[in-house]
Structures are given as C-alpha cells and as structure tokens.
C-alpha cells in the first residue's frame, strides 16, 4: 500500500485549512500535520514521515529554502512541494538545488495540487512545462557562471547593491523594488558570493576600495 500521507507548512491559515480539507475530502491523502511555523514541527516527533510536504517558500520564522536540507535529513523519503507567490526564477533554481521536487504558485488551484500529488506518487519529480522551461534556462546560465568575472552582477543585483551602498534597509529596498524581503536577501547572498565577502560591511568596504583604486 502506498504512503499517501501529507504534511503542510503554510502560514496562511485559510489556505492551510483549505488544502487540508480538500485533500481529506478526496479520500486519497491523509494529513498528518498542518502548521504555520517551522518551529511547530522542528522538534516534534511523528509516528511516520509524510510522503509529501507542502511547504510555503516564505514562512514567518524562516526561509523554507534554508530548511530543505534539514527536512530531508529528518525525512529522507519525503517529497517536497514548494508553494510560493514569488515568481523570482532564481528562487526556483535554488529550491530545486536544495531538493524540492515540484512547485505550485499562489493562488493555489486545488485541482493542480491534486494533479501534482498524483504525479509524484509514480514519479520522483514533477514540474509544469513553463516551470521546466524556466529551470532549464536558469541551469544553462548557472553552468556559465564559472566563466564570468566574480563580480559580474545581474541588473537586479546592481539595483540592490546601489541601495545597499546608500545605506537602505532590506525592508526599504523590498518596498522600492516591489519585491519580497526574502528576495532581497536571496540576491544579496548572491552578491556576497560574487564579491567573495561574508557580510554587508565587507561588501561596502570592498566597493569603496575598488572605487578609490579606479
């Protein structure tokens, strides 16, 4: 008998309850937990690991991408389905690298969720055609990064870097660029890697030194 248990980590209470009620109404899937914070399950022990985890990419107490590796160590056979209203392509790539096997964009259409779960009962992963196309393009870009200068930035990263140099906070940058706080943080981490620094202070210092020597 197949394991059709589902765990839900989604901070939106209405959506969380809608997913739980819908899946249970189908009679095909059993929800073993439905929580709004990672802290609610971080230390809790369950009798069985969920076959599927529906995971909101931006939880109030953590970025879901950062906990995928820990979740997979805890539940190695669980297939993680990311749910997000953020369509930033780089987040898709990073989540896949960490181990996510499928995605759903908000607002979640329950029939699509059911289709993803059904597909994953027989396949190791499942991506809708448009997401697969985006992912392949991003992977090609990612493979070519090693041939680029380490400080070659994308247009979005240049925008964020300019705000950082002005002393703007993440919250202000997110508002000005109409993106989420987590997206700002994601791009800033990429900038750190490209400049080979570990903090905002190191980044600003490096930029100042570069401008002085120019």
CATH code, 16: 3.40.50.2300
Q: Which of 58-67, 126-135, 136-145, 201-210 has the lowest mean pLDDT?
A: 136-145
Q: Which of 122, 120, 40 is nearest to 82 (CA)?
A: 120
Query: Does residue 160 share a domain with residue 134?
Result: no
Which residue has better confidence, 115 or 140? 115
pLDDT beyond 90 at 10: yes
Cβ(58)–Cβ(180) under 8 Å?
A: yes
pLDDT beyond 60 at 144: no
What confidence score (pLDDT) does residue 146 get?
Answer: 43
pLDDT beyond 90 at 166: no
Half-sphere exposure of 133 (CA within 13 A, CB side): 3
What confidence score (pLDDT) does residue 85 get?
Answer: 81
Task: Tokens 């027989």: give the residue.
Answer: 122
pLDDT beyond 70 at 212: no
Q: What is the pLDDT of residues 67-101, one digit of tens each?
A: 998 999 999 999 999 998 876 767 777 788 888 88
Average pLDDT rounded to a whole number, residues 186-214: 75
158 vs 9: CA distance, rounded Å: 33
Query: Does residue 185 share a domain with residue 135?
Result: no
* The total number of structural domains that make up the chain: 2
Neighbouring residues of 21: CB distance < 8 A, sequence distance ≥ 6: none
Q: What's the CATH number where 162 sits? A: 1.10.10.10
169 vs 188: CA distance, rounded Å: 12
Half-sphere exposure of 179 (CA within 13 A, CB side): 18
Average pLDDT rounded to a whole number, residues 169-174: 89
Question: How confident is the prediction for the chain on average, in pLDDT?
Answer: 83
Average pLDDT rounded to a whole number, residues 49-57: 93
Collapsed DSSP state (helix, strand, coil) of residue 213:
helix
Query: What domain range includes position 95?
Result: 5-141
pLDDT beyond 70 at 199: yes
Average pLDDT rounded to a whole number, residues 135-154: 56
Query: Does residue 57 share a domain with residue 16?
Result: yes
pLDDT beyond 80 at 201: no
The token pair that represents 126 in the structure block: 């499942």
Half-sphere exposure of 12 (CA within 13 A, CB side): 15
Average pLDDT rounded to a whole number, residues 61-69: 87
What confidence score (pLDDT) does residue 104 get?
Answer: 87
Instruction: Quote the DSSP letter at residue 101.
Output: -
Instruction: Give counts: helices (H), strands (E), the chain.
Output: 10, 7
Q: Which of 99, 122, 102 is nearest to 4 (CA)?
A: 122
At 20, the pLDDT band (50, 70, 90 cuts) reads very high
Query: Does residue 70 share a domain with residue 11?
Result: yes
Query: Does residue 153 share a domain with residue 135?
Result: no
- CA-CA distances (angstroms) from residue 214 to 160, 209, 210, 211? 22, 9, 6, 5
Query: Does residue 184 share a domain with residue 199?
Result: yes
What confidence score (pLDDT) does residue 2 get?
Answer: 64
77 vs 92: CA distance, rounded Å: 21
């Amino acid at each position: 008998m197949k394991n059709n248990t589902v765990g839900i980590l989604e901070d939106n209470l209405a959506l969380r309850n809608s997913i739980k009620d819908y899946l249970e109404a189908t009679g095909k899937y059993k929800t073993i937990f439905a929580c709004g914070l990672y802290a609610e399950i971080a230390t809790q022990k369950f009798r069985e690991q969920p076959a599927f985890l529906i995971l909101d990419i931006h939880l109030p107490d953590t970025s879901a991408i950062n906990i995928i590796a820990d979740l997979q160590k805890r539940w190695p056979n669980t297939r993680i389905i990311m749910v997000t209203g953020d369509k930033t392509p780089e987040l898709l790539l990073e989540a896949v690298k960490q181990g996510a096997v499928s995605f759903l964009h908000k607002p979640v259409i329950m029939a699509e969720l059911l289709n993803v779960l059904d597909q994953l009962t027989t396949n190791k992963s499942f991506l809708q055609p448009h997401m697969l196309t985006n992912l392949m393009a991003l992977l090609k870009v990612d493979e070519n990064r090693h041939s680029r200068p380490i400080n070659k930035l994308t247009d979005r990263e240049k925008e964020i870097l300019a705000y950082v140099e002005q002393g703007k906070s993440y919250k202000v940058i997110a508002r000005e660029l109409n993106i989420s706080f987590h997206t700002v943080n994601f791009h800033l981490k990429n900038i750190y890697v490209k400049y080979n620094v570990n903090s905002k202070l190191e980044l600003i210092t490096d930029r100042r030194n570069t401008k002085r020597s120019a």
